[in-house]
Chain A
């Protein structure tokens, strides 16, 4: 069948084009009767966002299914398990893989069979994959199998793969060779020349300072261009770091997202706590701050936070667990965990549970939070760069601590991803002295 690839740098409208092209194909009748578009993503956050985006287009209403590769693979491997019965090689290999890669490997193996390819296409003749550069071996094999019977619309930019050390040449080579490639070159996200030039310099591994103009800003060195600033903060004092962040935020209109490669950095978190609570006064008497923001955290962390408050007995009956959990049932995942236990009790007659069960139920509920439960924050946000992938914000503040680690290439990809999230303005705050002469901000020092 056909594969169409949209390839282009960050902010050139890859997702927009992929969804638009899929809509055109749907309008042209690629689905026929009773069939749907399958949109595959890598993480649940991306799934929820893509689901909400597709849901806004009336053409897709009730005609698409948004799944992670993992869930899709689990379903496929489970439903066609009779084809794997007795295939010792596949079963042995599966046993060596983790709970996500195992089903993906099985699904990829099953999708080598044309009958299975056609069987998937009978329900999903059109498959949409954004961020295809993130495909690893198993998931690439899945897409290759799907390509046997389904039409595929994909978007990719090799430079935006954030898996450290993964070689994207194989994936990109196949994607480019398997069908038609549309190269997107027109920046769509921002019109800020400085922002674009800087992002390109990072992508190409050039010295970022060369495309910027230096000026003195308080005690800290500052380079700037239209829509972009980068400043170095030498102080380790959390108050001063906080002031620098808040000062940047005070000069922007609209939402600001604070992005960092290392959300665990302690001094950085201390500074952010201050940003969220303190008010500063300028010499002219004007005040700014505080800037309350929401930490967007991983599903794991949400679940951890929820569970930290609840004292679960190691093992108890359904009724006893209910008594413990009910005060926390205002949280949807807790309420869902209760109803899941109730169902198990009624369907299987299970009355005894362990704290491990309950924790697993809460974690599952957090992971599976439906589109309805997924809230788009209007206020300021803070999150890791990984989490900001494939999203856009009016303003971005990148906090770059010395604890950002990885190969020079990886650091550049991280910085590039962070900078290109901005529509209006991006400020990069580098903590520490003299780090602007090394990657990701400059090429490696020539020996």
Chain B
């Protein structure tokens, strides 16, 4: 079984969301884009009741719920065994859910099966309201009969049937949250561990009972209250008690509460490495512990798979504590074992393990959360450019899309230069830096690894998944032609930046050097083993080394060594960052708005050195 669609209304920062989910998906997006909201919405719907954290006002959209405010979450579950309601009695019936039929391709629902709507589905809803008198949330988990006419789940005539926890267990939803306490995972205080033990039937009852009895009734000589030094204290306490209470209770000291539960709870996992000492999990490196714990999770998944049961796993940031080679193996194992995996990540490595249609970019703007796949379907015969972008450079592409703004430069050397300058700037940055705006560029702007002459194609791909793509063009005829092509797309790029007339990126680098021309030329000549009597020679040299990375790096580092040039780089990247982030209002130095080409939805700037 798996979750095919999720809609969210009024939950946290999300006023509305409608998300189609595949079998194995990865959710990527900047911080605060709504990834965690999606995961928490799923756990409100499918988590165990006591795992559902108490909801407060802040869980309602706008944080000030009135009597009519609602959180409503609806999930469509499909993939039922035998595709037949008769075989899924826990889900379907007059006292249970209403059967629906889903079109697996476009995820639309129909009340009766037909040629397109072939897969049996059920809809589960969760709703919450905030009681203004009791100051707490009332929640209900119910079968959704007809999503289109759902109405208020708390209305008197709602005819709701609640969903039993037992029913939800058939789906086998399990959440691994980002804030995890790994060392407590292999212990009986962990819900997961208990479930694994229960599934496998491995409760060590006899050993626990024996241990409990031993703790309860230790040999006379080993009793703590009989140890020298303690006996005096215990005896005087007993004397006091005899004065106060007619029954004269005797004080005894026992390890634990001497019931099976406390014995189980005191079980702490230890690890032995090689011939080293056995150490408790907290004394181990987090990598080992988290890996062992995830293996336990896999055991659980395996146990469910072996008994034909469904297992849906939501994992937040699997990259935490685990090195990249293990991440890959882990994610692939999870995908192979689970009916469905829903992964959130900030790691381009993890994200790039998922095919483009299953890579969902999450974005929330004015309360509307969207989840857009990197591509709707994998092209049967991808073009050279698509192969390049979606396969060879997928990690870099995904990394750039995780940023607030995305910049698509016209050529491959623009990418290289911007990255080199940015890196050099960050390396030079010190605590005394008071301009404060220097490193903002890499925080907010992702640079797409485009290839030459494909800026319009790249833009059309990025435009589908990211809400704020921007374009950087040369100040020549080609640049103008690209601009004409992208300006008519819907929507157009948020921001288009031109280098000055007849300039390319290398002219910009030379412009930086001109901040302190004589010194810069001299030091660059040394660094690049060139000869630059004027800046024209420098530009010419850079143009002949367009795709030679050491040139970019050496140049950037050398320029950064020069205080005047360093200021220019900082100003350039800072100003570029400002116009990309807020094109409608930004008015920085170095860039001038081109009012003739700008529109309400697209701002055009030209670099004015």
Which A residues form the contact surface with B (CB < 8 A)? 32-36, 74-76, 78-83, 85, 115, 118-124, 340, 343-349
- Decide: A118 and B85 in contact? CB cutoff 8 A: yes
User: Given A78-B159, A346-B67: A123 and B146 within 8 A (CB)?
Assistant: no
Known: A122-B86, A123-B93, A346-B133. 7 other contacts (CB 8 A): A32-B89, A74-B159, A78-B159, A82-B100, A123-B94, A348-B67, A349-B66
- Decide: A76 and B94 in contact? CB cutoff 8 A: yes
Tell me, in angstroms, the Cα distance from A245 to B133 when the chains sit together: 57
B198 within 8 A of A: no
Tell me, in angstroms, the Cα distance from A53 to B96 when the chains sit together: 26
User: Given A75-B159, A78-B159, A347-B154: A122 and B146 within 8 A (CB)?
Assistant: no
B456 to chain A, nearest CB (A): 45
- Decide: A119 and B98 in contact? CB cutoff 8 A: yes
B483 to chain A, nearest CB (A): 49
Contact of A122 among B66, B89, B100 (CB under 8 A): B89
B90 within 8 A of A: yes
B178 within 8 A of A: no
B145 within 8 A of A: yes
Q: Which 4 A-B pairs have the closest CB atoms?
A: A349-B67, A122-B93, A123-B93, A123-B94
A163 to chain B, nearest CB (A): 28
Which B residues form the contact surface with A (CB < 8 A)? 66-68, 85-86, 89-90, 92-96, 98-100, 111-112, 129, 131-133, 145-146, 148-149, 152, 154-157, 159, 161
User: Given A75-B159, A85-B111, A118-B85: A123 and B67 within 8 A (CB)?
Assistant: no
- Decide: A347 and B67 in contact? CB cutoff 8 A: yes
- Decide: B67 and A345 in contact? CB cutoff 8 A: yes
- Decide: A120 and B132 in contact? CB cutoff 8 A: no
A364 to chain B, nearest CB (A): 9
Tell me, in angstroms, the Cα distance from A120 to B95 when the chains sit together: 8
Interface pairs (11), CB distance under 8 Å: A79-B159, A80-B98, A83-B112, A85-B146, A119-B93, A122-B89, A122-B93, A123-B96, A344-B156, A347-B154, A349-B66
Q: Which residue of B lies closest to A33 (CB)?
A: B89
Tell me, in angstroms, the Cα distance from A81 to B155 when the chains sit together: 17
Tell me, in angstroms, the Cα distance from A118 to B85 when the chains sit together: 9
- Residues in B with CB closer than 8 Å to A122 are 85-86, 89, 92-94, 96
Contact of B145 among A36, A74, A81, A340 (CB under 8 A): A81
- Residues in B with CB closer than 8 Å to A76 are 94
- Residues in A with CB closer than 8 Å to B148 are 82, 85
- Residues in B with CB closer than 8 Å to A115 are 85, 99, 112
Q: Which residue of A lies closest to B67 (CB)?
A: A349
- Residues in A with CB closer than 8 Å to B132 are 346
Question: In terms of DSSP, what is the predominant structure of the interface of chain A?
Answer: helix
Question: In terms of DSSP, what is the predominant structure of the interface of chain B?
Answer: loop
User: Given A122-B86, A348-B67: A36 and B149 within 8 A (CB)?
Assistant: no
- Decide: B89 and A349 in contact? CB cutoff 8 A: no
- Residues in A with CB closer than 8 Å to B159 are 74-75, 78-79
Contact of B111 among A36, A74, A83, A123 (CB under 8 A): A83
- Residues in B with CB closer than 8 Å to A343 are 156
B199 to chain A, nearest CB (A): 20
- Residues in B with CB closer than 8 Å to A75 are 94, 159
Contact of B68 among A81, A124, A349 (CB under 8 A): A349
- Residues in B with CB closer than 8 Å to A35 are 89, 93
Contact of A82 among B86, B98, B154 (CB under 8 A): B98
Tell me, in angstroms, the Cα distance from A81 to B158 when the chains sit together: 12
- Decide: A346 and B99 in contact? CB cutoff 8 A: no
- Residues in A with CB closer than 8 Å to B129 are 347
B337 to chain A, nearest CB (A): 29
A425 to chain B, nearest CB (A): 45
Tell me, in angstroms, the Cα distance from A345 to B68 when the chains sit together: 10
B108 to chain A, nearest CB (A): 13
- Decide: A119 and B99 in contact? CB cutoff 8 A: yes
Contact of B89 among A34, A83, A340 (CB under 8 A): A34
Q: Which residue of A lies closest to B167 (CB)?
A: A34
- Decide: A79 and B94 in contact? CB cutoff 8 A: yes
Q: Which residue of B lies closest to A344 (CB)?
A: B156
Q: Which residue of B lies closest to A84 (CB)?
A: B111
User: Given A119-B85, A122-B96, A123-B94: A82 and B67 within 8 A (CB)?
Assistant: no
Q: Which residue of B lies closest to A118 (CB)?
A: B86
B315 to chain A, nearest CB (A): 32
A124 to chain B, nearest CB (A): 6
Tell me, in angstroms, the Cα distance from A79 to B95 when the chains sit together: 10
B292 to chain A, nearest CB (A): 38
Tell me, in angstroms, the Cα distance from A180 to B566 when the chains sit together: 98
- Residues in A with CB closer than 8 Å to B100 are 82
Contact of B94 among A82, A83, A119 (CB under 8 A): A119
Contact of B93 among A74, A78, A120, A348 (CB under 8 A): A120
- Decide: A82 and B111 in contact? CB cutoff 8 A: yes
B132 to chain A, nearest CB (A): 6
Q: Which of B92, B95, B112: most chain A Cβ within 10 A?
A: B95
Tell me, in angstroms, the Cα distance from A343 to B111 when the chains sit together: 33
Q: Which residue of B lies closest to A120 (CB)?
A: B94
- Decide: B149 and A81 in contact? CB cutoff 8 A: yes
- Decide: A82 and B85 in contact? CB cutoff 8 A: no
Tell me, in angstroms, the Cα distance from A122 to B98 when the chains sit together: 11
Tell me, in angstroms, the Cα distance from A35 to B152 when the chains sit together: 28
Q: Which residue of A lies closest to B96 (CB)?
A: A123
Tell me, in angstroms, the Cα distance from A348 to B161 when the chains sit together: 20
- Residues in A with CB closer than 8 Å to B86 are 118, 122
Tell me, in angstroms, the Cα distance from A35 to B155 when the chains sit together: 27
Tell me, in angstroms, the Cα distance from A345 to B146 when the chains sit together: 26
A444 to chain B, nearest CB (A): 48
- Decide: B146 and A81 in contact? CB cutoff 8 A: yes
Q: Which residue of B lies closest to A343 (CB)?
A: B156
- Residues in B with CB closer than 8 Å to A34 are 89-90
B219 to chain A, nearest CB (A): 50
A71 to chain B, nearest CB (A): 10
Tell me, in angstroms, the Cα distance from A122 to B86 when the chains sit together: 7
Q: Which of A78, A82, A343: most chain B Cβ within 10 A?
A: A82
- Residues in A with CB closer than 8 Å to B99 are 115, 119
Q: Which of A35, A36, A119, A344: most chain B Cβ within 10 A?
A: A119
A238 to chain B, nearest CB (A): 47
Tell me, in angstroms, the Cα distance from A33 to B95 when the chains sit together: 13
Tell me, in angstroms, the Cα distance from A391 to B98 when the chains sit together: 38
Tell me, in angstroms, the Cα distance from A42 to B387 when the chains sit together: 70
- Decide: B98 and A79 in contact? CB cutoff 8 A: yes
Contact of A79 among B67, B90, B145 (CB under 8 A): B145
- Residues in B with CB closer than 8 Å to A123 are 93-96
- Decide: B111 and A346 in contact? CB cutoff 8 A: no
